[in-house]
Amino acid sequence: NSVDYIIIESTGISEPLPVAVALAEDDNLQTLVKLDTLVTVVDAETFLNDLESTQKAVERREMGAEKDDNRMIVDLLIDQIETANIILLNKVDRVKKHHMGTLRSIISHMNPTAEIREVEPSFVLNSGRFNLDEARGMKFWSEETEELKNPSGSKLPESEEYGISSFVYRSDRPFDDDKIQDIIDEGLEGVIRSKGIVWMKNDPEKVTVWSHAGASMILEDGPSWEEEGNTPRQELVIIGVDMDTDSIRKTFDDALWNEAQKKKKKKRMC
């Protein structure tokens, strides 16, 4: 009873969720402590530049990454934001008001449930905001998807105030692998974040997990569609600044597998 709070400060290259799981699910620790809140501190001055960075963590000596650490800074940044219950903005006095609005809007799209504040210790301690079940559900952005399906209309859209907008791309046809590679190589103008699950023609039995942030793009093998109990499909949440939604939808539509075109192409080659 002599300790009120224990504050654990992770390194800049730490991934918060594994730490949270270790604290929340260890039977011995559960009798001694309760995980209260996950807090991420964002450097408001460098955030927008880091979001577009192609640097790896090991390239910044101050981060203390090991030589064989291949993680990109932007991936670490996104993980730390998406897992947080509270996001504290630091160095706000060095950022112009309009840029602060853009920064807040981007962060709130990445993590719709977190509270965003300027540094204030009393706001962090004993907040009781951490919920492990919610943390486990972050991957598919259910809250963001629900808001897109049933907009509350209670606040001014970021699309009007800062040019920030988001939408969900869906389809029940597989992607052509070559065309998706073209999208990855060329990028999507105005898109700063996209995440979800996709269905690829060359590996139709498995879920492919899509994760894009800034200059970083990752496609990873997931479980089988049957194992997940899901119907094969495309489902991507896309966030951007001044993006042309119709054009991006068309880009993805054009990347869908078209059996008729493939047959026609093979016939010309013969």
Q: What is the pLDDT of residue 63?
A: 59
Q: What gap in Å lies between CA 171 and CA 256, rounded to an integer?
A: 9
Instruction: Count other Cβ atoms within 10 Å, centred on residue 253.
Output: 12
- What lies within 8 Å, CB to CB, of 249 at 6+ separation is 167, 169
- pLDDT of 260 reads 62
Strand partners, 116: 87
Output the pLDDT for position 148.
46
CA distance 44 to 52: 14
Confidence at residue 145, expressed as pLDDT on a 0 to 100 scale: 42
d(CA 74, CA 56): 8
Distance CA 178, CA 75 (A): 25
The label of the residue with tokens 């450097």 reads 43
Tens-digit pLDDT string for the chain (270 aa): 678 888 888 766 677 777 787 778 777 777 888 889 999 999 888 888 888 888 777 776 655 566 777 778 788 888 889 889 999 998 887 888 888 888 999 999 999 999 998 865 566 567 777 776 666 565 443 454 455 456 565 545 555 555 778 899 999 999 999 999 999 888 888 888 888 999 999 999 999 999 887 767 888 888 899 886 788 999 999 988 888 999 999 999 999 998 765 555 555 554
Nearest partner of 93 among 23, 144, 22, 43, judged by Cα: 43
CB atoms within 10 A of CB 223: 12
CA distance 120 to 40: 13
pTM greater than the 0.75 cutoff: no
The predicted pLDDT at position 262 comes to 55
